[in-house]
């Protein structure tokens, strides 16, 4: 019997990836095929399972990747092949999203479907701009209106006479190109020229833009600011509240574009910190973490784990890969009870705690040198002891060589490789030829790999554009050797420490170097 497919029409929300609903995210994680639009934040695609087919069908202005009929046929085709299909649409599927048309096509073809609503831009974008679309005393009614209507039509589908004065707050979607027409119609049918107006572009993104005026002035203001789609228009007295209720675009890093070079598996903490402070964060991982293909050496070490007095974890990756293999061999954390564990850094220690273990040693300085210094204080205790060091193929040899000088026996087990991702020239240009304010480096590898990516594509000139933020002195020195200017160095070598110093740097008009 052929497996029966199903289509989920999911509202991805207005832009901020965190605004997708819990149900929508859970369905996305199970999809075999995801068909997504122009206004969908591609961060959401990171949640797709391995092997999921991702198909972009974005439409903007005169550029259509696929016609609406083509999209309908694609949904039907994939569902008939037995796949779980997610149709991921910006905002809400049923609010100017043509989701109802797609649902009708599915219905007509006897294909099971489900609608998962999303937060629409007409609510979210004003909220992020500090504009409540209703407020007692200002507006008790709302209308959502298409601003994309063809102005050459003999008859409008919009009853301008009634909406102009009969509704408190008017929210126009896709209306920037038609702004003069919309303004003229509202004034023609009685809306006062001094009625406040806001235009909100890329709502809920950390590069959101908002301009305000009134019906008499907003067209000129939009022209002066070269205000382009995608944007919504909010008309009504509630716009007056923006000055008091602004919260999003006054965050300390708002308007700052920061490129994060950390591996994608580790970038989330730093990205989250910077985004919460308002930064427009661009992920450009210069490291891919690839577990080794052959775990024989690690397996042997785990089977004989009681032979080791210490295990030293140098990164979050080493912790996660080690424990994943431990569990695959049918062991759990109890097998480590007879030994001690050291970690380089608080972040690696936190990763260890996820497996129910508190590290015995966290050096004061989160470097290989700091780790050696911590062991130097107990060198008499480790003389003749066996130490396991599961690490990457490019790990520095300072720890094993120095500990062996103290009389320890160090077994190095390579458990993952740091691979440089393959970027196209177009991708590099899209990230680095545009304006950006800072590039973060959390290890020497992120520095060297970025320099190698530039060299491979003959983009060395981009190195001179970089203002770098380094997690510590070793990374800073590597950056200097590669010609990269470091303007921020974390005082405390943690992600939080780096975040704090970035915040301090942008707060100090004269610039800041730790």
Which residues are known to be catalytic? 37, 59, 174
What sign does the CA torsion over 359, 365, 368, 369 have? Answer: negative
Instruction: Count CA atoms closer than 13 A to 113's CA, side-chain side.
Output: 28
Residue whose entry in the numeric block shows the structure tokens 């569902």 = 79
C-alpha separations of 432 from 208, 259, 426, 428, 495 in Å: 20, 9, 10, 6, 23
- In sequence order, the β-bridge partners of residue 196 are 214
C-alpha separations of 241 from 35, 142, 202, 265, 514 in Å: 38, 16, 20, 41, 40
CA 102/CA 281 separation, integer angstroms: 34
**DSSP codes joined into one string, 327-353:** HHTT--GGGGTTSEEEESSHHHHHHHH
CA 372/CA 342 separation, integer angstroms: 11
- In sequence order, the β-bridge partners of residue 6 are 84, 112
Please name the residue ranges forming H helices in 57-178. Answer: 68-80, 99-108, 121-128, 160-166
Q: What region, left, alpha or beta, does residue 226 occupy, with left being phi > 0 and alpha being psi -120 to 50 degrees?
A: left
Element (H, E) at 312: strand 310-313
Please name which of 303, 353, 349 lies closest in space to residue 328, comparing C-alpha atoms: 303
Q: Could you give the angle at the alpha carbon of 422 between the alpha carbons of 417 and 428, nearest 5°?
A: 130
Helix (H, G, I), strand (E, B) or coil at 281: strand
Residue whose entry in the numeric block shows the structure tokens 């530039």 = 454
Q: Which two tokens stand for residue 462?
A: 């981009």
Q: Which two tokens stand for residue 59?
A: 């439409």
């Amino acid at each position: 019997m052929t497996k029966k497919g199903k289509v989920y029409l999911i509202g991805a929300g207005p832009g901020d990836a965190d605004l997708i609903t819990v149900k929508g995210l859970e369905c996305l994680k199970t999809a075999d095929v995801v068909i997504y639009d122009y206004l969908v934040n591609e961060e959401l695609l990171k949640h797709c399972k391995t092997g999921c087919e991702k198909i972009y069908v974005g439409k903007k202005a005169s550029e259509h990747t696929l016609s609406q009929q083509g999209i309908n046929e694609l949904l039907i085709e994939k569902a008939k092949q037995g796949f779980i299909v997610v149709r991921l649409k910006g905002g809400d599927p049923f609010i100017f999203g043509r989701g109802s048309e797609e649902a009708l096509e599915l219905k007509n073809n006897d294909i099971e479907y489900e609608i998962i609503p999303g937060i629409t831009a007409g609510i979210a974008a004003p909220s992020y701009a500090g504009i409540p679309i209703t407020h007692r005393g200002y507006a008790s009614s709302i209308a959502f209106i298409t601003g994309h209507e063809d102005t050459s039509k003999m008859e409008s589908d919009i009853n301008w006479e009634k909406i102009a004065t009969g509704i408190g707050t008017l929210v126009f979607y896709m209306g920037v190109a038609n702004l003069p027409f919309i303004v003229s119609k509202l004034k023609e049918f009685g809306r006062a020229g001094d009625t406040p107006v806001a235009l909100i572009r890329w709502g809920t993104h950390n590069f959101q833009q908002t301009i305000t005026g009134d019906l008499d002035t907003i067209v000129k203001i939009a022209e002066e600011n070269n205000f382009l789609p995608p944007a919504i228009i909010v008309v009504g007295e509630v716009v007056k509240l923006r000055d008091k209720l602004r919260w999003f675009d006054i965050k300390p890093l708002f308007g700052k574009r920061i490129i994060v070079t950390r591996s994608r598996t580790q970038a989330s903490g730093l990205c989250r910190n910077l985004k919460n402070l308002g930064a427009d964060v661009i992920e450009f991982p210069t490291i891919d973490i690839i577990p080794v293909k052959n775990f024989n050496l690690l397996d042997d070490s785990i089977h004989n784990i009681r032979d080791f007095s210490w295990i030293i974890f140098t990164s979050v990756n080493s912790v996660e890969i080690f424990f994943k293999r431990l569990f695959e061999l049918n062991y759990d954390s109890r097998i480590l009870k007879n030994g001690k564990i050291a970690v380089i850094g608080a972040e690696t220690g936190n990763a260890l705690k996820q497996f129910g273990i508190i590290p015995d040693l966290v050096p004061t300085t989160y470097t290989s040198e700091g780790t050696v210094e911590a062991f130097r204080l107990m060198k008499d205790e480790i003389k003749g002891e066996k130490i396991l060091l599961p690490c990457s193929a490019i790990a520095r040899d300072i720890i094993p060589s120095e500990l062996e000088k103290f009389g320890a026996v160090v077994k190095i087990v390579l458990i993952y490789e740091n691979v440089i991702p393959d970027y196209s020239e177009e991708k590099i240009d899209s990230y680095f030829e545009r304006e950006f304010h800072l590039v973060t480096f959390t290890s020497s590898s992120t520095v060297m790999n970025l320099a190698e990516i530039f060299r491979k594509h003959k983009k060395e000139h981009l190195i001179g554009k970089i203002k770098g933020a380094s997690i510590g002195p070793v990374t800073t020195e590597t950056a200097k050797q590669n010609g990269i200017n470091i303007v921020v160095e974390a005082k405390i070598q943690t992600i939080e420490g780096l975040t704090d110093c970035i915040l301090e740097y942008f707060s100090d008009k004269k610039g800041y170097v730790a």
